[in-house]
């Protein structure tokens, strides 16, 4: 059995509904309370972390890549979407999307470059 036949992780995918101004003058994306696609099998790979100082507060930013079998996507996520991991409940923001290609007997994946901000 191949890894793509039974991925270890699942994620709920949410599209932003609208954008509003936050109290600091920035843009805040608002999301629906129900996912656009739920329990999506995926592979989550974390590849880096950093601790930037944002507004004089230390933050932990974890970067990673999520691979979803393209044929299982019933929606078309774009930058600004978010994912909610079903095992840990962490929120992951999608920064970039790369369509993968099939190779031999391996089907195509869609890859999402993402990050999650954890308050330290």
51: domain CATH number is 2.40.10
Average pLDDT over the chain, rounded to whole?
Answer: 86
**pTM, rounded to two decimals:** 0.83
| Comparison of pLDDT for 29 and 4, the residue scoring more | 29
Structural domain for 46, as ranges: 3-119
State the average pLDDT over residues 1-24: 82
Q: What is the model's pLDDT at position 2?
A: 64
**In which band, very low, low, confident or very high, does the pLDDT at 60 lie, cut at 50, 70 and 90?**
confident
Q: What is the model's pLDDT at position 56?
A: 65
Residues 25-38: pLDDT tens digits?
788 888 988 999 99
> What would the two tokens of residue 100 be?
């993968």
Q: What is the model's pLDDT at position 119?
A: 63
- Domain count along the chain: 1
Residues 72-103: pLDDT tens digits?
999 999 999 999 999 888 899 999 999 999 99
């Amino acid at each position: 059995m191949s890894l793509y036949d039974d991925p270890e992780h699942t994620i709920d995918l949410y599209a932003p509904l609208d954008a509003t101004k936050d109290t600091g003058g920035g843009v805040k994306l608002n999301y629906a309370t129900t996912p656009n696609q739920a329990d999506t099998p995926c592979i989550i790979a974390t590849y880096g972390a950093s601790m930037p100082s944002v507004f004089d507060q230390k933050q932990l930013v974890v970067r990673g890549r999520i691979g979803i079998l393209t044929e299982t996507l019933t929606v078309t996520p774009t930058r600004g979407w978010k994912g909610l991991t079903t095992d840990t409940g962490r929120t992951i923001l999608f920064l970039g999307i790369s369509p993968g290609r099939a190779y031999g007997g391996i089907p195509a994946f869609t890859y999402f470059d993402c990050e999650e901000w954890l308050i330290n």
